[in-house]
């Protein structure tokens, strides 16, 4: 199973939008895919499910003996399952203090379902705490969404430093699959400069596909659909499809 963590501790850069639509695209390409929502805000879960109706979530999986099998739900997309989150996940950090396996909880649980899926895509919260570390320890690959903005690269050093620490011990095999530029506005010259700056940091790891800013992408979660059914002809659907192609080529 290829496990892709979508991470950037900056808020609102398109992590959830990328996780939801990349997971849907992989499933549409025939890959058995599990979307793991590790953000207490539960935005990925809300994109497919009514989060209030959930009895158990990733919080239970990471804090007690609940298995992933007990929380995984089907989505309306064939071959796409989801392990949902709930706000309770915010309590996790304080609860796992002092637990020796605190960083390995997700990895252990994912290993148990590895034969059922070709891909797992993990949506993470905008922080570099224990939850994101669990994702990076469990992951084989990392995708960093970078918002096309003047402050795009702020905080990237901290993120890459965390990735290096995780590589040096718990997960030497973690690969940076790529940085994807999100919320891009083609019309501005600023965007061109930002692209250059991002390429200076990530070099050939920048995905060729850029995700542009679009109303359709913003609207689709409210309809509990991925962009591929909500607006199949939109630029967002086209771009996330192409990003998926690049991901399949690179892994
Ligand atoms: N390409 C896009 N075009 C237009 N709106 C977008 C696009 N990508 C994301 N958005 C919107 O921008 C907001 C932030 O995106 P998203 O929730 O994916 O970011 P995030 O990194 O997961 O945020 P957080 O750090 O809070 O979890 C959301 O309202 C989302 O619908
Ligand atoms: Mg999010």
Question: Would you state the pLDDT for residue 238?
Answer: 98
Which atom belonging to ligand 1 lies closest to the Cα atom of 41?
27
184 DSSP assignment: B
Question: According to the model, what pLDDT value does residue 129 have?
Answer: 94
pLDDT tens-digit map of 36-79? 999 999 999 988 998 777 889 999 999 998 999 999 999 999 99
Name the DSSP class of 118.
Answer: S
In the block, which residue shows the tokens 């396996």?
Answer: 101
- What is the pLDDT averaged over residues 95-108? 94
Q: Render pLDDT for 170-194 as a digit per residue (tens, 0 to 9).
A: 999 999 999 999 999 988 878 888 8
Distance CA 227, CA 217 (A): 6
Q: Under a CB-based contact definition with an 8 Å cutoff, are residues 251 and 188 in contact?
A: no
* Residue 66: exposure state from Cβ atoms within 10 A (0-12, 13-18, ≥19): middle
Mean of all residue pLDDT scores within the chain:
95
Longest dimension (CA), the chain: 52
- Structure token digits, residue 59: 């919080």
pLDDT at 214: 95
Q: What is the mean pLDDT of residues 139-156?
A: 93
Two structure tokens written together for 151: 């402050």
Percentage of the chain beyond pLDDT 70 is 100
Model-level pTM? 0.97
Determine if ligand 1 sits within 6 Å of the CB of residue 185.
Answer: no
Q: What is the pLDDT of residue 191?
A: 82
Check: CB of residue 181 under 8 Å from CB of residue 148.
Answer: yes
Give the Å distance between the CA of 16 and the centre of ligand 1. Answer: 6
Query: Which one-letter DSSP state was computed for residue 181?
Result: E
For ligand 1, pick from 7, 8, 16 the residue to mutate: most ligand atoms within 8 Å of CB. Answer: 16
């Amino acid at each position: 199973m290829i496990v892709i963590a979508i991470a950037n501790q900056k808020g609102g850069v398109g992590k959830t939008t990328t996780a939801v639509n990349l997971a849907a695209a992989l499933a549409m390409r025939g890959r058995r895919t599990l979307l793991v929502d590790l953000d207490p805000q539960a935005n990925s879960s809300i994109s497919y499910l009514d989060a209030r109706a959930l009895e158990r979530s990733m919080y239970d999986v990471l804090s007690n003996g609940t298995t992933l099998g007990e929380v995984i739900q089907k989505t309306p997309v064939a071959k796409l399952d989801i392990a949902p989150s709930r706000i309770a996940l915010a309590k996790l950090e304080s609860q796992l203090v002092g637990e020796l396996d605190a960083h390995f909880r997700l990895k252990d649980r994912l290993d148990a379902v590895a034969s059922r899926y070709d891909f797992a895509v993990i949506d993470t919260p905008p922080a570099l705490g224990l939850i994101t570390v669990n994702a990076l320890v469990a992951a084989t690959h990392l995708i960093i969404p970078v918002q096309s903005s003047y402050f795009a690269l702020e905080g990237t050093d901290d993120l890459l430093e965390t990735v290096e620490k995780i590589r040096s011990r718990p997960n030497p095999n973690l690969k940076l699959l790529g940085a994807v530029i999100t919320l891009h506005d083609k019309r501005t010259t600023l965007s061109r400069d930002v692209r250059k700056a991002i390429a200076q940091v990530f070099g050939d790891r920048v995905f060729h596909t850029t995700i542009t800013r679009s109303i359709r992408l913003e609207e689709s979660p409210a309809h509990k659909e991925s962009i591929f059914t909500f607006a199949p002809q939109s630029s967002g659907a086209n771009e996330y499809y192409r990003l998926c192609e690049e991901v399949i080529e690179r892994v």
